[in-house]
Amino acid sequence: MGAVSGFFGTLASMIPLQFCVLDPDNQMFFDLSIFGHSARVNAVALITGLLIIAVTWAFALAINEIRHRWLARKRIIAATDSAPGAFVGYSFSPWIFIAPTVIGLALFTYYPAAQNFFLGTQLARRGVANTAFICLDNFASLITNPLQDAHYYVISNGFFFLAENARYLAVLGNSFFFSVLIVLCTNVLGIAIATVASQKIRGAVVYRTLMIWPYAISGVVVGVVFAVLLGGGGSGFFNQGLQLLGLPSLPFLSDPWWARISVVMAATWNKLAFNVLIYIAALQAVPKELLEAASIDGANAWQRFLNVTLPIISPYIFFVVFLNLNYSFFDLFAVIDNLTGGGPVNSTTNLVVDVIRVGVESRDIGKAAAQSIILLLIVIGLTYLQFRVLGRRVTYGVD
């Protein structure tokens, strides 16, 4: 199975390339140094190899998944196809009911997604209808493009490996940095707050309302307000407070690392209300008998939380973690754009912000489409991971 899909995957990705990899005019090189050893790498060949691996892998997964589904369907085919309560004698109306949605999705989701693959191989400028085929140069330029003034110590700067001229790797590093920290902060804080808020206490519903209303606040408002709290022309609220305590003020939005921390703080606050909401519901579903039994066995509060509560709410944790991962990879644009604008010197530019910078501000649609394809690959990876983790029962018992 794997060999067959591997063969077809390679074939499928080679045909549209028109063997342009072999064209000597299309060679782009960059210097890669890993732990001090430096080498000259052909970017087009590297990208082609990576694409073939990715496509093959995706094909193998898809075939495996379809086979799995097909086997599962055969077993439950009677249950799904009987459709109890279906209207009899209406063969045309379901199509009328569902056509607007299907047409809308085909035109505004599927067509642009497919168009990305075409535009990714083109030299396309914003506002210009004509395009020209340039092979994989858009992808290759992601790793050969000069870094200019970007700070990129997340994955480079001699500490892990140094990819010279790799602006996109720095952007990728920023995205992963944000995701890890945001998921960690929102979930730890969310569970902690929900633990307090789910106590049976007078006025619990009122407290819950007072805690979760920030759910309705937009990313723009979060960005704008935190820009005043943290920045404020160098003396925002936080720095005023630090000065009042006799401490030196911090360069929240002007230092690359502090700017990243600021984005994490703002995004954490933006998502916290949602997590608290879910975790309150999750914690209230924990059966009291189990907690009582544990305390009779001599478990203290922390042990009860670790050994009883946490395993029971773990499906909720996975669910929330995946939603937060999606948020921190794809929905941070409004916060970043209004808090730091991607700066200072690109240190808070993540994948989506870079797509907009390249595609809209630099007017290079082709390169932005190439970046969108990488975003799509990340989506596929996240979705696959989500199905693998959430598809399995994480804990026996209450759900």
Residue for token pair 């073939």: 52
For other proteins, the closer CB: 64 or 240: 240
Question: Which 265-294 residues touch other proteins, going by CB under 8 A?
Answer: 269, 272-273, 276-278, 281
Residue for token pair 């694409």: 51
Task: Please select the residue that binds other proteins; options are 334, 345, 389, 394, rule is CB under 8 A.
Answer: 334
Q: Render 48-106 in DSSP notation, one character per residue.
A: HHHHHHHHHHHHHHHHHHHHHHHHHHHHHHHHHHS-TTPPTT-SSHHHHHHHHHHHHHI
Distances from the Cα of 269 to the Cαs of 95, 211, 239, 280, in angstroms?
Answer: 43, 12, 19, 17
What span, in angstroms and rounded, lies between the C-alpha atoms of 228 and 245? 20
Question: Which 137-166 residues touch other proteins, going by CB under 8 A?
Answer: none
Q: Which stretch binds other proteins (CB under 8 A): 7-15, 32-40, 297-305, 352-360?
A: 352-360
| Size of interface with other proteins, in residues (CB under 8 A) | 99
Report if residue 337 touches other proteins, rule: CB under 8 A.
yes
Report if residue 319 touches other proteins, rule: CB under 8 A.
yes
Give me the 223-242 binding string for other proteins, x by CB under 8 A, dash otherwise: xxxxxxx--xx-x-x--xx-
Minimum CB separation of residue 317 from other proteins in Å reads 12
Report if residue 123 touches other proteins, rule: CB under 8 A.
no
Question: Which 163-222 residues touch other proteins, going by CB under 8 A?
Answer: 193, 196-197, 199-202, 207, 209-222
3-class secondary-structure state, position 18: coil
What span, in angstroms and rounded, lies between the C-alpha atoms of 52 and 266? 38
Distances from the Cα of 316 to the Cαs of 149, 267, 269, 290, 310, in angstroms?
Answer: 42, 20, 20, 18, 10
Distances from the Cα of 386 to the Cαs of 106, 177, 276, 351, in angstroms?
Answer: 24, 20, 21, 21
Minimum CB separation of residue 23 from other proteins in Å reads 26
Length of the chain: 399
For residue 133, give the amino acid letter.
Answer: F
Q: Do 376 and 113 contact (CB within 8 A), yes or no?
A: yes
Q: Which stretch binds other proteins (CB under 8 A): 26-34, 97-105, 139-147, 246-254?
A: 97-105
User: On the CB side of 186, how many CA atoms lie within 13 Å of its CA?
Assistant: 33
Minimum CB separation of residue 245 from other proteins in Å reads 12
Distances from the Cα of 213 to the Cαs of 209, 216, 245, 269, 272, in angstroms?
Answer: 6, 6, 31, 12, 11
Report if residue 129 touches other proteins, rule: CB under 8 A.
yes
Task: Please select the residue that binds other proteins; options are 2, 16, 65, 111, rule is CB under 8 A.
Answer: 111
Question: Which 23-42 residues touch other proteins, going by CB under 8 A?
Answer: none
Residues linked to residue 42 through DSSP beta bridges, in sequence order: 29
For other proteins, the closer CB: 162 or 351: 351
Minimum CB separation of residue 277 from other proteins in Å reads 7
Minimum CB separation of residue 396 from other proteins in Å reads 19
Report if residue 247 touches other proteins, rule: CB under 8 A.
no
Task: Please select the residue that binds other proteins; options are 27, 64, 115, 314, rule is CB under 8 A.
Answer: 115
Tokens of residue 34, six digits:
């890993």
For other proteins, the closer CB: 137 or 337: 337
Report if residue 312 touches other proteins, rule: CB under 8 A.
no
For residue 272, give the amino acid letter.
Answer: L
Nearest to 139 by CA among 42, 38, 247: 42
3-class secondary-structure state, position 307: helix
Give me the 360-399 binding string for other proteins, x by CB under 8 A, dash otherwise: x----x--xx--x--xx--x---x----------------
Task: Please select the residue that binds other proteins; options are 139, 168, 178, 316, rule is CB under 8 A.
Answer: 316
